Structure 1
Amino acid sequence: MARRLRPVEIDFVRTAPVRLVFAREVAAPPQAVYRALADDVPGWTEWFSAVTRARPTDDGAGREIRLRGGTRFAETILVAKEPEVYAYRVDETNAPGARALAEEWRLAPAGTGTRVQWTFATDGTPAFRLALRLAGPGLGRAFRGAVTALDLRLAR
């Protein structure tokens, strides 16, 4: 059953009780990476293997995301500043124990490519926070795999 989470703003990505931050450089330029993140929401299923459905909602002000395993998110876009930042918060989810969640994708030029930094910021029950901290290495692997797949997709 989906539950409403505490609405948070963009500063939550810097103040959340659990913050997982991952970064990787890719060959694609920042504008192309930004467009794949923000403008081609359905395309997430092509490069982020955990995402099984992604669609914009509310005329692009939100997103609906489904993950492998059945986790669902209804999200609100917090920042869409091309080509630097794309961020959103989760408003509803069926993930047990979550109380607040926001994600931020920061893009910066790196030579002819882009440095992609993903911040996963959350709060929840003590068990949820512990589980997320333990899941950090796995989320890091998922991020690296997704960004690598995105870079390959953008090179085509």
Structure 2
Amino acid sequence: MARRLRPVDPGFIATAPVRMVFARNISAPPERVFRALAEDVPGWAEWFAAVTRARATDGGSGREIRLWGGGRFTETVLVAEAPEVYAYRVDSTNAPGARALAEEWRLTPRDTGTRVQWTFAADGTAPFRFALALGRAGLGRAFHGAVTSLDGYVSRR
């Protein structure tokens, strides 16, 4: 059953009780990476292995995400500043123990592509925070795999 989470603003990404930051350089230029993140929402299911379905809602100001294993999220886009920052918060989810969630994708141009930095920001019950701490390495692997696939996805388009 989906539960409403506490609405947060972009400042939460820097101050959340749990913050996980991962980064990786890829060859695609920031403009193309940003388009894949912010404008091609259904494409997430093609390059992010955990995502089974993604669709834009509310004229692009929201998203609906489904994950392998049954996770469901409705989200509101907080920041869409091309080609540098794309961030969103989770408004409702079936993830137990979550109280607030937000994610930020920060894109920095490099001589040979883009540095992609993903920040996962969360608040929740003590068991939820503990589970996130245990899952940090897995989230890091998921990020690295997704960004590698994203690089290939962007280059094929």
| Same fold? TM cut 0.5 | yes
How far, CA to CA, are the matches of 2:41 and 2:155 in structure 1? 18
CA shift for structure 1 position 152: 1.0
SS at match of 2:147: helix
How far, CA to CA, are the matches of 1:61 and 1:153 in structure 2? 23
How far, CA to CA, are the matches of 1:150 and 1:96 in structure 2? 29
Runs of 4+ in 1 over 2 A off after TM superposition: none
CA shift for structure 1 position 155: 1.7
How far, CA to CA, are the matches of 1:124 and 1:149 in structure 2? 30
Q: How large is the RMSD of aligned CA atoms in angstroms? A: 0.5
CA shift for structure 1 position 112: 2.7
Letter in 2 for 1:141: R
Indicate the residue corresponding to 2:55 in structure 1: 55
Given the alignment of the two structures, is residue 78 of structure 1 paired with residue 78 of structure 2, yes or no? yes
How far, CA to CA, are the matches of 2:57 and 2:152 in structure 1? 27
Counting matched residue pairs gives 156
TM-score, structure 2 normalization: 0.98
Indicate the residue corresponding to 2:119 in structure 1: 119
Superposed, which structure 2 residues align to 1:1-156 within 5 Å? 1-156=1-156
1:64-121 deviation digits (Å, cap 9, x = unpaired): 0000000100000000000000000000000000000000000000113000000000
Letter in 1 for 2:70: G
1:38-70 deviation digits (Å, cap 9, x = unpaired): 000000000000000000001101000000000
How far, CA to CA, are the matches of 1:64 and 1:153 in structure 2? 21
CA shift for structure 1 position 154: 1.5
